[in-house]
Structure 1
């Protein structure tokens, strides 16, 4: 039995971001040990069944305070030709089906430094397989919303408290200045 998770990728997009997020664990070395949940067997000598309903182990509370740095990393007209951007954040969990969900902040109109102060709760049944997925978009009434940045972080790597979270572009490259100020808390 193998005890490492290995993922190959082609192209960019959400699957690539999830893979990058998974490998941020273990110092970004490219090797992540499987969680005990996937190594242990139950009384029937079977490993974890992803379809089996499990009880909630912990609840992750996330507060998205604000974002800053876009005006330093983007041209003034990158998002809108005549006004500052209208940013919002999509935040969710990628993991087992019972944990997977996406929520969204309100859009903050015409502001390069948006302040959301929105809080979300994510009950987690298998936190050791969960990734916190964060995407920032610029709301566009007439067209498709513009991409502002993203990050994926293994829930196991999150630490309680207020953090400045770096944001990455669609190719997974870290923006020099863009960050989100967020608070993480685990409730049992």
Structure 2
């Protein structure tokens, strides 16, 4: 995927090995039904575009709220019970990359329910982003084992309750296996949480700067200074977590108000 983001128009991949790179490649070309080339988005064809500088991105950002509700017919190759968990990953520009992991549901691969585990992804450049759902089985040793995956371009997503058909490592459909999710998409600059979004972007910029600074200091052998910056990085990460909790609380309160209005008028 990084090769496409840098403007490469022809990349060599090992089609005999069903790894993450091949699954991302299959997902990328879903935009045209896997029947030909994918035209580079307009943002990539501007003179100021750089995949390493999010300030050069001149498109509207996108916030995706995803709630994992449940799944069905999750099976492994060998006999035995399945203890599944779901990982959701955004793959795109470095500033857009993010992951979310649900809890593990013990011994239920038939119809596991995750009690509406939800997360928010802030995407600076949705035109270049993919979303990847991966379902893993946690074995008795706590190690993950692949059960199924699904990868889509972010621009192909639609809001609402969605059934996500799962595929195997070769991106071939798994019969009956699917996830049930709820998706909300919005422009964060136009919503009521625009202030929180702005604060989060500033904190993430600070996080990236501190991480780069720590790496430089460690290469120079300045351990004491690196430790000081690491403390500041930890504080920044805590503030990001606090802002995300505040956003989740505000979103929940907003939903409650909508439900109250509907019940009052009915």
User: What TM-score comes out, normalization by structure 2 length?
Assistant: 0.61
Match of 2:34 among 28, 32, 56: 28
C-alpha distance in 2, partners of 1:35/1:5?
13
Contact 2:74 2:82 in 1 (8 A): no
For the pair 1:14 / 2:15, whether they are aligned, the reply is: no
Deviation at 1:104, TM superposition (A): 0.1
Q: Determine if contact 2:83/2:104 at 8 Å carries over to the other structure.
A: yes
CA distance in 2, matches of 1:186, 1:175: 27
- Find the structure with the greater CA-based Rg: 2
**How many equivalent residue pairs?**
174
What is the CA–CA distance in structure 2 between the aligned matches of 1:158 and 1:128, rounded to whole Å? 12
Partner residue in 2 for 1:59? 63
Following superposition, the deviation at residue 70 of structure 1 comes to: 2.4
Aligned residue among 91, 95, 112 for 1:114: 112
Bigger RCO (CA 8 Å, 6+ sep)? 1
- Counterparts of 1:40-119 in structure 2, within 5 Å, are 40-41=46-47, 46=48, 48-54=49-55, 57-70=61-74, 77-78=78-79, 80=80, 84-112=81-109, 113-116=111-114, 117-119=116-118
- Give the deviation of 1:115 after TM superposition: 0.7
Residues 28 and 174 of structure 1: is their aligned pair in 2 closer, same or farther, counting only changes over 3 Å? same
Could you say what the CA RMSD is over the residues aligned between the two structures, in angstroms?
2.0
Asked if the contact 1:131–1:155 (Cα under 8 Å) also holds between the matched residues in 2, the reply is yes
Q: 1:67-122 deviations in whole A, cap 9, x for unaligned?
A: 11225xx56x53x3xxx211000101000000001110000111121111211110
Q: Which residue of 2 aligns with 1:186?
A: 185
In proportion to residue count, which structure has more helix? 2
TM (norm. structure 1) is 0.85
Name the structure with the higher strand share: 1
